[in-house]
Structure 1
Amino acid sequence: MNTHFREPSGTSPRYAVLFPGQGVQRPGMGEPWRSTESWELVESVSRASGFDVAELLLTAGQDTLSRTDHAQISVFTASLLAWSEFRRRESDARVGAVAGHSLGEYTALVAAGVLSVADGAWLVGERGRAMARAARQRNGAMAAVMGGDIDAVADLVASLQREDADLWVANHNSPQQTVIAGSRTAIDAAASRATASGLRCSALPVSAACHSPYMEPASAALRRALGMTHFAAGVLPVVANVDARAHYGGSQWQELSGRQLVGRVRWVESLRTLHEELGCTDFLDIGPGGTLASLARRTLPEVPARKFTAPATVPA
């Protein structure tokens, strides 16, 4: 129950805007935005990050987009394009708070005015490159475990850790889905044990164990970049992945973003904070895919959740 804020009946929605992370990228995902006023953001992101973002958004194939650094800057930019158009098309919409899943947290910080577009793009570029290097140093794997709650999955992970397996809980995405990360051997063992326990386990198409100690080699480079970045006061609260608490801008995000690289994404708790403590009445998924709207419905089915759709493309 919302004990902090009660929305008067008959008023317009107070949105919690959700930005997706790596994994939702797909070829051609920039095409719907190409003829919009917001497309000018692509040049700004390219210049700040050092990537040819237009090529990634328009012509790159799935293999190219699957690379960690390419995926992250692509999803970040596509989400920014969608956010910019949302503010143009629904200028009267009330946004109460924002949150982003993993990489999406950087998009949320830009949307909240904590980071400039240029600083956000530069950080995402540095983060993606550092994570790609870490994954090459130590190949990892991730899997989604479904059919049990977080406690059941945590028990499964703990049982394998007692056998010296490199395995951790990475994301708590919904009451029915928890993502684990670690070595390929540990993920395979977890999948076998999960099936025996009546759980379903599905490997994710990644070669990195994100949000686990396997990303520690990337920490030094990311923290250096964070230390060189200005975090402004911002205009909206951002719910952080690592503690599921609302934060405004300022240098606290250097520490929060550093912890996020190797820490668990507390998405279920974050959704509850957005609704129950910050008084958001509706969830709005802005960016490629529609995964976050789906997770919101599974977590808080009584709260409306929708996807902000891209404009229809006009054939040449």
Structure 2
Amino acid sequence: MGIAVVFPGQGSQAAQMGRPWRDHGSWSLVERATAATGAPLAHLLLEAPAEELAPTREAQLSVLTTSLVAWDALAATLDRREVVAVAGHSLGQITALVASGAVSAADGFRLAAARAEASAEAQAATGGAMLALLGADEDVAHQACRAAPDRAWVANVNGAGQVVVGGHADALDAVAERAKELGVRRTRRLAVDGAFHTPLMALAAERLAPVLDTVAFHPPAFPVVTNHDAAPVRSADGWPERLTTHLVSPVRWADVVAQLVAMGADTVIEVGPGTTLTGLVKRIAPDVTTRSVATPDDLPVEARR
């Protein structure tokens, strides 16, 4: 059996998503994350209402921390020789780096906080937004973006007829109208306050670069399949450039899943809150077995405490 482990990104957060883990031994990671970031993570994971988790910094740190708690619990049950690769969607790529040992947990928490703050600064400067095109392929999405030249771009190619575009908020109505003319069955604004993975994140890449220079990268225990080009990376080299490129380039999730399958994965486990990636994998690669580990109940019985 070949296992690929994938980690979700911003948008998978939910109020009180940490409560099922509160009495699990892996909860100690929350204290480490709090020490590294200064964020009130126990409050965010146990008590905060959904609206308090919506801002980029709170959302990203909460998802990262919950995912790593779940990974810590799951990893003790896996035969690591069966893990062919790890990957993450957007923010989840940072989680994958920590899970693979390419980045320490302390550096991962610090990097995620800096990435979120840099993204928030870029959001404030550009006023971006994102729009899902349901029933579109990448070519149609590019055509729709031509309704707003240099103001809207493809941001996520999630596969199975789901493409997300990002751009200036006032440009996306024209993109939506053009998409419907091209036969896209439905469009939907996403509940995010920025145009992630587009040129509007150039300021975020610029702000993050000095922080990346302070992070120690190590050879990963498992290959990490990257978001922007679906390449399996087995070395410690080149990550600062990849992680800045990642901020301004589309997430090519359909290609990531295809790469995981090509590397021998017949089982994909989504680790962290929600089941968004599990759903996408089922549609992209229907012959692959999928599992999700969002709470201790998703673990083998012996690992639930």
TM-score by length of 1: 0.91
Q: Deviations over 1:192-248 (max 9, x none)?
A: 122222212111011101001111111222111111110011211000001101002
Matched residue count: 296
Q: Percent identity?
A: 41
Give the 3-state SS of the residue equivalent to 1:160 in structure 2.
Answer: coil
Q: 1:102 to 1:309 in 2, by over 3 A?
A: closer
- Quote the Cα distance in structure 2 between the aligned partners of 1:306 and 1:215: 33
Aligned residue among 78, 82, 85 for 1:91 = 78
Aligned residue among 121, 125, 141 for 1:137 = 125
- Quote the Cα distance in structure 1 between the aligned partners of 2:75 and 2:254: 26
Aligned residue among 244, 268, 271 for 2:254 = 268
Residue aligning to 2:29: 41
- Quote the Cα distance in structure 1 between the aligned partners of 2:278 and 2:64: 17
- Quote the Cα distance in structure 1 between the aligned partners of 2:154 and 2:175: 11
Residue aligning to 1:298: 283
Q: Alpha-carbon deviation of 1:251?
A: 3.0
CA contact (8 A) 2:224 2:232 kept: yes
Q: Alpha-carbon deviation of 1:131?
A: 0.8
Q: What is the letter of the counterpart of residue 152 of structure 1?
A: V
CA contact (8 A) 2:52 2:58 kept: yes
- Quote the Cα distance in structure 1 between the aligned partners of 2:293 and 2:130: 28
Instruction: List runs of 5+ in structure 1 lacking aligned partners.
Output: 1-12
Q: Alpha-carbon deviation of 1:309?
A: 4.2
- Quote the Cα distance in structure 2 between the aligned partners of 1:114 and 1:143: 33
- Quote the Cα distance in structure 2 between the aligned partners of 1:92 and 1:250: 23
Residue aligning to 1:254: 240
Residue aligning to 2:301: none
- Quote the Cα distance in structure 2 between the aligned partners of 1:190 and 1:309: 35
TM-score by length of 2: 0.94
- Quote the Cα distance in structure 2 between the aligned partners of 1:283 and 1:151: 27
- Quote the Cα distance in structure 2 between the aligned partners of 1:52 and 1:309: 21
Question: Do structure 1's residue 124 and structure 2's residue 109 form an aligned pair?
Answer: no
Residue aligning to 1:220: 206
Q: Deviations over 1:109-155 (max 9, x none)?
A: 01111000000000000011111111111211101101122111122
- Quote the Cα distance in structure 2 between the aligned partners of 1:123 and 1:251: 17
CA contact (8 A) 2:7 2:96 kept: yes
Moved over 3 A (4+): none
- Quote the Cα distance in structure 2 between the aligned partners of 1:192 and 1:155: 12
Give the 3-state SS of the residue equivalent to 1:261 in structure 2.
Answer: helix
Q: What is the letter of the counterpart of residue 261 of structure 1?
A: L
Q: Alpha-carbon deviation of 1:282?
A: 1.0
Question: Do structure 1's residue 26 and structure 2's residue 14 form an aligned pair?
Answer: yes
Residue aligning to 1:286: 271
Mapping for residues 158-177 of structure 1, pairs under 5 Å = 159-161=146-148, 164-177=149-162
CA contact (8 A) 1:20 1:288 kept: yes
Q: Alpha-carbon deviation of 1:312?
A: 4.5
- Quote the Cα distance in structure 1 between the aligned partners of 2:158 and 2:210: 29
Give the 3-state SS of the residue equivalent to 1:99 in structure 2.
Answer: strand
